[in-house]
Amino acid sequence: MICLLMTGVENKKSVYEIKGNKITKQIRFLGVRFSSFDVRIDFYRSVFLMRPGSVPKHASQRVKTTLRLDKMDDISHEWIDSDILIFNSGHWWTRTKLFDMGWYFQVGNSLKLGMPINSAFNTALHTWASWVENTINTNRTRVFFRTFESSHWSGQNHNSCKVSQRPWKRTNGKDRSPISDMINKVVKNMSAPVTVLHVTPMTAYRSDGHVGTWSDKPSVPDCSHWCLPGVPDMWNEILLSYLLPN
């Protein structure tokens, strides 16, 4: 999105990083300011949207940390007064990113060792929905939620970076995702106005929706397509169509 907006800026030096830090697991914020237009774009790294918890006493040794399904991420207080909020989650809700790393679910003081990942995601979505309804002034802030990009975890080895040159003729079931279905269902039942950017079907025909060898170092997987054409550009085009006046 930043690269897309940069094309409309004559003085490139008027665009600068607010803190100048790279996004890492420890540094979870990146802000870019377009000073000529009095606009800033903030990116917050909150892959689960929920708050990490602490390991309850007498928990199994396999439990290294917990994810509080009933508590929003601590950094969520920084999102409250935004003009536009765009949420995205789902890619990290997998066994390899959770259970294999010693992450298990917690609600209140109760450790949910047997809770399936999809059930946990659904619980987290309801926590997020309640937070939006009770915290965000939707007369001021427009809220979007982008659905799951299914080819990310398509059953292939996503580290192989094997990307087809042409779109697939069949979706092979990737046009549907339980994660995306849950997002649509929860948002539909919310009292607050939230727009779902449902990108799952459109990306099902594209193997370059997530990983590719497009960077300056082809041997390094490029998971973001920075400043290059690709599926994420269409996400931004769709968002822009919602933001522009009719």
Q: What is the pLDDT of residue 74?
A: 95
pLDDT tens digit sequence for 136-172: 999 999 999 999 876 554 444 444 455 666 777 888 8
Looking at residue 28, its pLDDT comes to 84
All residues at 6 or more sequence positions from 194 whose CB lies less than 8 Å from its CB, including other chains:
132, 143, 144, 145, 187
pLDDT digits (tens, 9 = 90+) for 62-82: 999 999 999 999 999 999 999
Distance of CA 146 to the CA centre of its chain: 7
* Count of beta carbons in the 10 Å neighbourhood of residue 138: 14
Give the separation between CA 26 and CA 29, rounded to whole angstroms.
9
Kindly report the CA angle at 16 between 11 and 19, in degrees rounded to 5? 170
- The SS3 assignment for 200 reads helix
Read off the pTM: 0.86
Helix (H, G, I), strand (E, B) or coil at 176: coil
